[in-house]
Every structure is written in structure tokens, then in C-alpha cells.
Amino acid sequence: MGSRFYDAPIDDYLPQNGNRGYRVSRYELELNYKVASNRLAGRAVITAVTTAERPRYSLDLSQALAVSKVLVNGNKAAKYHHQRGKLTVTPRGRIPAGGMLQLVVQYAGAPKPVRGPWGEVGWEELTEGALVASQPNGAASWFPCDDHPSSKASYRISITTDTPYYTLANGNLVGKQTKAGQTTWVYEQAEPMATYLATVQIGRYRKHRLGDHHTPVPMYAAVPTTLRAAFDHDFARQPEMMSVFSDRFGPYPFQSYSVVVTEDELEIPIEAQGLSIFGANHCDGRSGAERLVAHELAHQWFGNSLTIQHWCDIWLHEGFACYAEWIWSEAAGGASADQLARAAWHTLRREPQDIVVGDPGPTLMFDDRIYKRGALTLHTLRLELGDTTFFRLIRDWTARHRHASVSTEEFTDLAGHYSMAPLHPLWQTWLYSEPLPQLPPAGQKTR
């Protein structure tokens, strides 16, 4: 339903996702989740402004969740259709462009991940609890939304679940109430957030603060008791990482940072705004996942504060986070960024040369070559500009676009202002050509 009214896709990589005719400014979610039966009941209040007058408006919502009622602009019940992952709502009266559109959606069901070319993403049951891992299009597995990274809004997330479980969501915990064996947790995420970064984590966690109370950014961990000793060893350097990245990338963009470690094993860690989620397998007591700890922290700047407008620019998230791993290694007394770049280049040289980093296509957008070649693009730029200018550019980039949407063109335009020589050949060979370019020789790099 609705394809007649939503001509061109918002994003060619995910043509079914995202919706036209409005811009969401806020989501208020009231969720009730029964862990034992995997039953989710929700009430979503979505506040938006219309960008065009339309006979109907659509939201992304999984068919695993059944809608029981939709209200528009107050208590006006509206007609709706829910088919093929789209909830299409017909207001009783026309709403002019620039008018307020407030949708209240009541829904319930057994949430499950959304299947797609990248596997299953979204709401996932754990052995005891649940997690949300939505990149790129899994948000619709648990709430009705405009599921596209360019659509950023503030959130209030209230979750009621069985009292033994600890529950986390994005932002600050602003309320907690226990009644008759159920606890309601209320979180407020004031900074704009893309839908795929919204999350709920439910498990038998104990929360504690990392570092001391003098660290500029409060850092927390929610970890099962059985993993606490291994966690304390493996994540001990996170406050130091925060300090290094704040120096190189500019101030941390959110009020706090939390890490969740599930009792289940996870194939890869998961990023969310203000949070990172790791599996028990990332907590080995030998700091085996330190590279990934750095990677996920870096996403708070590159991905969460600065979020791509379109998925074709995914290197702006993953290339930067991968390069942050090398920056951390360098700062922590390990291999230098240049040594790691050259090792990565030699590995890539043996891979197929059939990927365009600046527009890889949907099937390849999470290919490891995007991560490594994206990082090599940044290292090449650093060699071209020199350390001082390069990091000045990165801090300018994060400051200008704090909590906003970004594109490759905006980054390359800004970088041009920091270079005496034209950078077009660098972008052309690294971002828009398939063959792997040569790395420039290393200069004398100091900080």
C-alpha cells in the first residue's frame, strides 16, 4: 500500500524504507515486554511536521506486530492499512504542508528480527532477556517509525518488564518505578537520533561506573556478575580511549557512555547512540576485543552524532571507526597508524578489486573492504595534510555537523579548505575507483 503516493525511494539501497510527506521531531514509546513469552505491547506517540499535503502518510512497522488503533492529531481515530511492512494512515481531514502531524499507534505482538540481505536485524530474544540491533533497517521490528538514517528525532522510551531484569535504553534514566513484580524504566534521549540507533537492552545486569568521578564523561557498564572480573580487565582502558578520542575528534557528543555485555555470545558488537553492546565472547579476560572496544566508542562521533543521509556513504561511519582503531593503537603504545595502514593495504591487495568505497551498492555496504579502504582513505589524507592539519579538519568536521546528517560531498568539500593542493585525485582513486591505489610513502609524523 502507498507506493502510488511515495514515488521515488528515499534511498536506493533500502527502497522500502523511509517515508515522504513529513519529518518526525519526537518519538514517545511506552513498551511492556514479557521476557518469558517474548510478548511486546506498545503505544507510540510520533510527533512530526508535514512537508507536503497528502491524502495519507505511512510508517515502517513489521508485520509481526499487529496494530489495534491509530489516532491522528488528538483523539481522532483514523483509517489505516498495515501491509508489507508499511502502516499507512489516512487522516480524517487534510493537513496542510507545515502542519502538525501527531500519530498515536497502539500495537502488540511477538517481536522478531527483520530479515534482509544483511541477515536478521532488530529485536532479538536472548537466553534471558532481549536486545535490539537494528542497523540498517531493524527499528520497525519494535516500533512504528520513519526508518531511515536521515530521519533523526528526540526520544522518550519507557519500558515495563519483570523486576529481576535490568533495562537500558538510549539517553538518561529519568524515572524508575517498581510495582507488583514489574519495573518501569524511563529514558530520555534529547539529542537527535536515527531510528536504527534506538535500542532497548534487557538482561540480568548489574550496572556500575567506570573510572573515577573526575572523568569528564560519565562511563558505565551493565554486565552479568559472572563476567565482571573479565570485563574489568578487558575494558579497563576505555576511559583512556575516551580521552584520546576527545582530543583527536573533539568533545564527546553525548552526556554519558554505557557498555552492555550480554551473557549470550554475539557475532559482532553493536552500536547504539550513547551505548555499545558486546557479547560474552568479547570478554575473554585477555583484552582480545580491545580493537572492537575502540571501534564502537568511535561510532559515537562517526555514525551517532554525525549520521549519514544515505547508506551509500557508509564509509563515513565504518572507515572512520576503523581508522580510530589505528589511532588508539598508536596512542596506546602499540603499532602506529602507519604500520597498521600498510599491513591493511597488503591484505587488501590480495582481495578482489571490485568495490567502490564511495558507492558500494547495498549487498556490499558492510563488506570489510569498506572499513579498511575507508580507513586507508583517511590515512592517505593524513599523509597529504600532515598530522596537525588533519586532526584540525576532523575536529572541525565533528563540530560543524554535531547531531546532524552528513554526506561524502560535505566531507570532501570541507577537506578541500584544509589543503593547498587539489584533493580530487585522492577522492577519485580511493573512493570512486575499484583498483586499490598505492599508499603514499610515510612522512615524519609526530603529534
Res 2 pLDDT > 70: no
pLDDT value of residue 211: 80
pLDDT at 445 exceeding the cut of 60: no
Mean per-residue pLDDT, 194-199: 98
List Cβ neighbours of 317 (8 Å cut-off, separation of 6 or more): 299, 302, 303, 307, 308
CB 48 within 8 Å of CB 114: no
Q: Which tens digits make up the pLDDT trace of 20-55?
A: 999 999 999 999 999 999 999 999 999 999 999 999
> pLDDT value at position 6?
44
Average pLDDT of the residues in 420-435: 98
pLDDT in tens, 381-399: 999 999 999 999 999 999 9
215 confidence band (pLDDT: 50, 70, 90): confident
Residue carrying the nine cell digits 559472572: 226
pLDDT in tens, 245-258: 999 999 999 999 99
How many residues are present in the chain? 447
- CATH T-level assignment (fold) for domain 22-199: Immunoglobulin-like (2.60.40)
**Cα radius of gyration rounded to whole Å, the chain:** 22
pLDDT, mean of residues 84-102: 96
Q: Do 144 and 17 touch, CB atoms closer than 8 A?
A: no
Sign of CA dihedral 140, 146, 152, 154: negative
State percent of the chain over pLDDT 90: 92
Pick from 6, 20, 25: which is nearest to 52 by CA?
20
**For 330-382, what is each residue's pLDDT tens digit?**
999 999 999 999 999 999 999 999 999 999 999 999 999 999 999 999 999 99
Taking 50 as the threshold, does the pLDDT of residue 447 lie above it? no
Q: What is the pLDDT of residue 7?
A: 56
- Distance CA(231)–CA(224), nearest Å, equals 10
Strands 219-223 and 76-77: unpaired
The pLDDT confidence band at residue 444, using thresholds 50, 70 and 90, is: very low
Residues with Cβ within 8 Å of 19's Cβ and at least 6 positions away in sequence, in order, are: 6, 10, 57, 58, 59, 60, 146, 148
Angle at 149 between CA 144 and CA 153, to 5 degrees: 60
Residue 260 near residue 168, CB atoms below 8 Å: yes
Residue closest to 147 by CA, chosen among 184, 98, 75, 195? 195
Question: What is the DSSP secondary structure assignment for residue 306, as one 8-state letter?
Answer: B
Q: How far apart are the first and last CA of the chain?
A: 57
Render 255-287 in DSSP notation, one character per residue.
S-EEEEE-SS--SS-EEETTEEEE-GGG--SS-
Report the alpha-carbon distance of residue 25 to residue 156 in Å, rounded.
12
308-431 under CATH 3.50.30.50, yes or no: no
Q: Which of 271, 272, 313, 322 is nearest to 412 (CA)?
A: 313
Candidates 300, 86, 294; CA nearest to 193 is 300
**How many Å apart are CA 139 and CA 336, to the nearest integer?**
38
**Is residue 78 pLDDT above 50, yes or no?**
yes
DSSP sequence for 28-97:
EEEEEEETTTTEEEEEEEEEEEESS--S-EEEE--TTEEEEEEEETTTEE-EEEEETTEEEEE-SS---T
Residue pair 196/139 in contact (Cβ under 8 Å)? The answer is: yes
Domain boundaries of the chain, sorted by first residue: 22-199, 206-300, 308-431
pTM score of the predicted model: 0.96
425: three-class secondary structure by DSSP? helix
Please state, in angstroms and rounded to a whole number, the distance separating the CA atoms of residues 79 and 71. Answer: 9
Q: What is the DSSP string of 160-217?
A: EEETTSEEEESSEEEEEEEETTEEEEEEEEEEEEEGGG--EEEES-EEEEES-TTSSS
Span 302-324, average pLDDT: 98
pLDDT digits (tens, 9 = 90+) for 96-136: 999 999 999 999 999 999 998 888 999 999 999 999 999 99
* Distance of alpha carbon 209 from alpha carbon 178, whole angstroms: 23
Options 3.30.2010.30, 3.30.450.20, 3.10.20.90, 3.40.190.10; CATH of 206-300:
3.30.2010.30
Whole-angstrom Cα distance, residue 244 to residue 157? Answer: 31
